[in-house]
Copies of this chain bind each other. A is one copy, B any other.
């Protein structure tokens, strides 16, 4: 927790905090659905029910608000994947479950929207690319790499650079349906399609990294 409950939470501070969150909520929805250019501060204020002056008293500009949205949204992206990697079921089963959950997650409508936003605005806002990468792909790769490293040390996978292996596995899983969704060719992956993608990725990965 970083929230300073130090001297006095003070009703005012609390209100301010929750108000701020409400703003970021509404803004996030709009930015994700409409993109940066398609989002207007006036619409956000209207949806909130408040006045524009109030909105500006929380965020001094659209850009700053956008930054806050990206932080919030990448945070929500992060946690949620860690519990799954349990080596007790065997490496293959653990990896397969991880891939399924991972693929479902990155092909969710929100994840696609974030991805589009980050990539599309990487020119205008160089910071957000770094923020997003550090919090989402890098986090995932590190997690997976740790697991893979363990498996390598137990000789359940061929010994090699674990981070590379992790990246390659995510690459194999993502490059099919995910890319098509990013570019708008398809709107969603059916459960069967997810199964199939994961099967293909796992087959290739295991052949390459068999002990």
List the interface of chain A (C-beta within 8 A of B): 33-38, 115-124, 126, 129-130, 132-133, 137, 164, 167-168, 170-172, 174-176, 179-180, 182-185, 200-201, 203-205, 207-209
Contacts and interface: CB of A to CB of B under 8 A. Distances in A.
A185 B133 contact: yes
Contacts of A209: 204, 207
Contact of A174 (B38, B175, B183, B201): B175
Copies of this protein in the assembly total 2
Given A124-B35, A129-B183, A200 B119 contact: no
22 contacts: A34-B123, A35-B120, A35-B123, A37-B37, A116-B119, A116-B120, A116-B122, A118-B183, A119-B182, A120-B121, A129-B182, A129-B183, A129-B185, A130-B184, A133-B180, A168-B175, A170-B175, A171-B175, A174-B175, A204-B204, A207-B208, A207-B209
Given A168-B200, A171-B174, A184 B122 contact: yes
Nearest to A204: B208
A179 B137 contact: yes
Given A115-B119, A208-B207, A130 B167 contact: no
Given A37-B37, A174-B171, A174-B175, A122 B183 contact: yes
Contact of A119 (B36, B120, B164, B204): B120
Contacts of A133: 180, 183, 185
Contact of A172 (B33, B116, B171, B207): B171
A38 B124 contact: yes
B122 A182 contact: yes
A190 to B, nearest CB: 18
